[in-house]
Structure 1
Amino acid sequence: MSDLTRRGLIGGATLLALAGSAGAQTVAGDEVVPLWPGAIPGAATGPIARKVNERAKTPDGHDRWVTGIDVPALVVKRPAQPNGAAVLLVPGGGYGFLSYDNEGIEQARWLNALGVTCFILLYRLPGEGWSERRLVPLQDAQRAMRVIRARATAFGVDPARVAVLGFSAGGHLAGSLATRFAERVHAPVDAADRLSARPDLAGLIYPVVSMDAGITHKGSRDNLLGPTPAAADVAAASVDKRVTAETPPIFLVHASDDGTVPIANSLSLYAALLAAKRPAEMHLFDEGGHGFGVRLPKAVPTAAWPTLFAAYSRRKGVFA
């Protein structure tokens, strides 16, 4: 096992750190791969305390919200029968927490059943005192894609079949990765940083897209950019403004009754992708609200989105 890889446990609602203050976290027995071999870019201006808020109402499951990501890492979830495909999972939480179970563990479960190796991204939350606030999530996302590709053989994945799947603010980060993968947001730290950070496909589920005050999710914008961002920073962080001829295929899902992130976010990005003649597929539903993950009853049409995403990924050559 590489010296980047560590193992640890999440017991109940407590994340246990490994290797002292340089530790990372995982769920019982899973691999954890810290993203940065040395100093983390955008150093914190003060101590960051790891916390887990267990929101589950019954003892037979978890619904954890994680804050205080002091050491960004990948939690590796391997399928019983891997087929070479990989997905970087990016939980949401308004850039204020990570919805670890709903948009991480539960997503890995159905993807693993398809033979897909999953990597849950524990990325830094920009409002927790990092000196490069608006860049630290993207630094972690770019680095995550490069680490996956650098260790593709060890992970048993094809480096040309790596998708990203993000939810809500995690959808904004996944969309930022898909449109800003070539932007230099940190100094290279090793050979992995010579590899491409471009995902081969991006799935954005009820995503925050725009930082424009008229349609954005205010909490995500405030956490990422601060309460009074400069116009240039708003434009730079708006995914729909960053689409280019190199943007990979994008899959979008949104519900019109989403009371948290307006559906206008997905509509704006889809229009930008069409204008740039980039491959894209969008599914809009009248019911589902926000934050549904894979928890909707099967009778609700929106619950079909994983099947639709898998089919799109196969057509684009990412899934088997």
Structure 2
Amino acid sequence: MSLTPFPSRRTLLGGLALAGLAATTARPALAGSTALSYSGPSIPLWPGSPPGAPATLPSFASAQKSKDTAFDDRWFTGIAAPTLEVRKPAYRDGSSVILLPGGGYGFLAWDNEGEEQARWLTARGVTCFILKYRLPGEGWARRGLVPLQDAQRGVRLVRAHAKDFGLDPARVAVLGFSAGGHLGGSIATRFAEKVYDPVDASDALSARPDLAGLIYPVVTLTQPYVHAGSRDNLLGANASAAAIAQGSVEQRVDQNTPPVFVTAASDDTTVPIQNSVALYNAMLAAGRPVEFHGFDKGGHGFGVRLPDDTPAHVWPELFHAFGARHAIFGGSSG
């Protein structure tokens, strides 16, 4: 397999503190492509302004981080109109995954943790919805709830549109990365929390995902293993102890938490693997289904870009197998 060196993510916004990302991550070259295309319906999350909209909405921006014209690595900011971007497979198995890109709650790593994940999932018959969620530090009221508002609404809308896309509304998973993993853990543990006023009939549907995959996730917002950039971007500086506890996923696990798949690398110097271990232990203590894979190498932000000689590159197959065992993936839809 031909491998193309890929630059690691670096700090985009002040205070994000992403300097510990793996510096030697590589991804397979995309043969025969010099301009990638993206297609699929776009579903607005909110019929009007999102909850807590500021007087001046943020302006959308896309920063291209790729040095290779064969593929993209875009970072999105300024999300004023959050959406679900639909990526449909040629063959549907009836399942769906809502993809939650990371970026420390300061940007969205759209390609690495969105589009590229949709490619391997749709190849397996899974319909994907990439959540373009709002960033809490861009002027929204109740900033600590903003991503969760969009995630809850996103899960409900996927269920509301399930018939339109030939999907089973009882087979809706989320797959989140880094801070998107924190968001995935939050929706898995806080799906019943009322964080916005209902806007239409979709809000009568459950926001509980049927399975959650969390990849090198931010989990705790407490010391000593917190990723401070994600915490501060989500809650603001000098957040209260109560807000920090409320936002720490490992403290929110209960008997209603869906099955969770977690993977991370021991050499992750950005989000310590102890985040994943804390969630794994919390799931075990609650008697909830959980699978944890801790790899010795991989760093942070690797997505599906690891070379074959790095063991963590197998995580997509492990995640898909976990979902199949829990009756999320597999089957067919006409």
Q: Shared fold by TM > 0.5?
A: yes
Structure 1: segments with no counterpart, 5+ residues: 1-26
Amino acid at match of 1:241: Q
For 1:223 and 1:45, locate their aligned partners in 2 and report how far apart those are by CA, in whole Å: 20
- The question of 1:36 aligning with 2:46 is answered yes
For 1:319 and 1:302, locate their aligned partners in 2 and report how far apart those are by CA, in whole Å: 21
2:142 alignment partner in structure 1: 132
- The question of 1:198 aligning with 2:208 is answered yes
- Which residue, out of 172, 195, 200, partners 1:185? 195
For 1:277 and 1:46, locate their aligned partners in 2 and report how far apart those are by CA, in whole Å: 46
Instruction: Say if 1:75 and 1:119, in contact at 8 Å, map to a contact too.
Output: yes
- Which residue, out of 115, 118, 127, partners 1:108? 118
1:71 alignment partner in structure 2: 81
- The question of 1:260 aligning with 2:278 is answered no
Give 3-state SS (helix, strand or coil) of 1:163's partner: strand
1:317 alignment partner in structure 2: 327
Runs of 4+ in 1 over 6 A off after TM superposition: none
CA shift at 1:47, angstroms? 2.9
Instruction: Say if 2:98 and 2:128, in contact at 8 Å, map to a contact too.
Output: yes
For 1:49 and 1:37, locate their aligned partners in 2 and report how far apart those are by CA, in whole Å: 19
CA shift at 1:213, angstroms? 2.8
After superposition, the C-alpha distances for 1:242-281 in whole angstroms (9 at most, x for unaligned) are 0010000000000000010011100111111000000000
Give 3-state SS (helix, strand or coil) of 1:288's partner: coil
Q: Which has the higher contact order (CA 8 A, sep 6+)?
A: 2
1:225 alignment partner in structure 2: 235
Q: Matches of residues 280-319 of structure 1 in structure 2 within 5 Å?
A: 280-319=290-329
Amino acid at match of 2:178: S
For 2:77 and 2:41, locate their aligned partners in 1 and report how far apart those are by CA, in whole Å: 20
For 1:316 and 1:169, locate their aligned partners in 2 and report how far apart those are by CA, in whole Å: 25
Q: CA RMSD in A?
A: 0.8
Amino acid at match of 2:146: V
1:17 alignment partner in structure 2: none
After superposition, the C-alpha distances for 1:194-243 in whole angstroms (9 at most, x for unaligned) are 00000000000000000003111111000001110001100000000000
2:253 alignment partner in structure 1: 243
After superposition, the C-alpha distances for 1:131-166 in whole angstroms (9 at most, x for unaligned) are 120001000000000000001010111000010000
2:16 alignment partner in structure 1: none
For 2:71 and 2:164, locate their aligned partners in 1 and report how far apart those are by CA, in whole Å: 31
- Which residue, out of 76, 86, 101, partners 1:91? 101
2:5 alignment partner in structure 1: none
1:164 alignment partner in structure 2: 174
Structure 2: segments with no counterpart, 5+ residues: 1-36
Amino acid at match of 2:192: A
In percent, how many aligned pairs have the same letter?
61
Amino acid at match of 2:135: L
For 1:288 and 1:260, locate their aligned partners in 2 and report how far apart those are by CA, in whole Å: 12
**What TM-score, normalized to structure 2?**
0.87
Aligned residues: 294
2:222 alignment partner in structure 1: 212
CA shift at 1:299, angstroms? 1.3
Instruction: Say if 1:45 and 1:130, in contact at 8 Å, map to a contact too.
Output: no
For 2:57 and 2:104, locate their aligned partners in 1 and report how far apart those are by CA, in whole Å: 21
**What TM-score, normalized to structure 1?**
0.91
1:13 alignment partner in structure 2: none
1:7 alignment partner in structure 2: none
Distance 1:272 1:45, change over 3 A: farther
For 1:247 and 1:65, locate their aligned partners in 2 and report how far apart those are by CA, in whole Å: 31
For 2:224 and 2:314, locate their aligned partners in 1 and report how far apart those are by CA, in whole Å: 30
For 2:141 and 2:223, locate their aligned partners in 1 and report how far apart those are by CA, in whole Å: 24
For 1:49 and 1:188, locate their aligned partners in 2 and report how far apart those are by CA, in whole Å: 26
For 1:264 and 1:28, locate their aligned partners in 2 and report how far apart those are by CA, in whole Å: 36
Instruction: Say if 1:208 and 1:261, in contact at 8 Å, map to a contact too.
Output: yes
Give 3-state SS (helix, strand or coil) of 1:252's partner: strand
Give 3-state SS (helix, strand or coil) of 1:135's partner: helix
Distance 1:265 1:45, change over 3 A: farther
For 1:127 and 1:30, locate their aligned partners in 2 and report how far apart those are by CA, in whole Å: 29
For 1:45 and 1:268, locate their aligned partners in 2 and report how far apart those are by CA, in whole Å: 39
1:5 alignment partner in structure 2: none
Instruction: Say if 1:45 and 1:131, in contact at 8 Å, map to a contact too.
Output: no
- Which residue, out of 252, 275, 278, partners 2:285? 275
CA shift at 1:45, angstroms? 4.3
